[in-house]
């Protein structure tokens, strides 16, 4: 069973550390999830945002409806700071930069997202290369928007970084060496506590 740890707790919210392989909220066929486990432990759990099932890391869950509304508004206004570490299958030539690609769901191949500059929704990601080793690149991603599969598509697309995240079953290369999991980890998170007005910063060592 994939692990779930309560990393921090405040008035009306929890920051949890989600393991790869665990849904953020119940799916169509899988009920096991972050919110389901928290509710089973006797806590109220209202998802403010989500991490992909295959992504590990920090996410905030509200335990109070008013706090949930306030935190959701912070996400809508892009006032929440998130940072991810990823290991990419390929060499990225640029040391840092910004990726801006518009994409949308492919209804014939759900949940895959496809590049569509006409009908897609723009996703923006800042990146910085941390190190390069042979045909691998470790990158810090800071998403400025929160589109589905944004980091995975921005890494893999030819006009993005052209280097898919290791272990990505949707956007990875068939020739890449297999990985046991998606090498994407949300290791930093910051938001303003709605009830105290204090900006809270959370960080743990990345696991990829």
pLDDT over threshold 80, residue 85? yes
Band of the pLDDT at 109, cuts 50, 70, 90?
Answer: confident
pLDDT at 173: 67
Can you say how many angstroms the Cα of residue 74 is from the centroid of all Cα atoms in its chain? 16
The pLDDT, as a whole number, for residue 1 is 60
Q: Which CATH number fits domain 4-81+191-203: 3.30.2350.10, 1.10.357.10, 3.40.50.300, 3.40.50.2300?
A: 3.30.2350.10
Q: Does 106 participate in catalysis according to the annotation?
A: no
Q: Pinpoint the residues of the chain covered by CATH 3.30.2350.10.
A: 4-81+191-203, 83-184
List the Cα angle 158/97/160 in 5-degree steps. 10
- Which class is domain 83-184? alpha beta
Please report, to the nearest 10 degrees, the dihedral formed by the alpha carbons of residues 31, 84, 102, 165 taken in order.
-80
Is 0.85 topped by the overall pTM?
yes
Catalytic residue among 52, 54, 168, 185: 52
152-177 confidence digits (pLDDT tens): 999 999 999 999 999 998 998 654 44
pLDDT more than 70, % of the chain: 96
Per-residue pLDDT for 120 more than 50? yes
């Amino acid at each position: 069973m994939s692990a779930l740890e309560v990393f921090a707790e405040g008035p009306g919210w929890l920051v949890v550390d989600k393991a790869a392989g665990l849904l953020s909220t119940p799916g169509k066929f899988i009920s096991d999830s972050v919110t389901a486990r928290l509710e089973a432990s006797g806590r109220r759990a209202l998802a403010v945002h989500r991490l992909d099932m295959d992504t590990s890391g920090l996410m905030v869950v509200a335990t109070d409806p008013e706090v949930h509304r306030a935190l959701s508004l912070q996400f809508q206004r892009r006032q929440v700071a998130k940072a991810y570490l990823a290991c990419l299958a390929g060499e990225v030539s640029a040391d840092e930069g910004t990726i801006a690609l518009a994409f949308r769901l492919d209804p014939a191949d759900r949940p895959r997202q496809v590049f569509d500059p006409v009908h897609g929704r723009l996703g923006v990601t800042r990146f910085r290369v941390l190190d390069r080793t042979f045909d691998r690149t470790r990158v810090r991603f800071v998403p400025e928007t929160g589109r589905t599969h944004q980091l995975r598509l921005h890494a893999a697309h030819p006009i993005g970084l052209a280097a898919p995240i290791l272990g990505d079953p949707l956007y990875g290369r068939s020739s890449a060496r297999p990985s046991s999991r998606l090498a994407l980890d949300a290791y930093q998170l910051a938001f303003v506590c709605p009830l105290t007005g204090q900006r809270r910063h959370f960080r743990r060592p990345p696991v990829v």
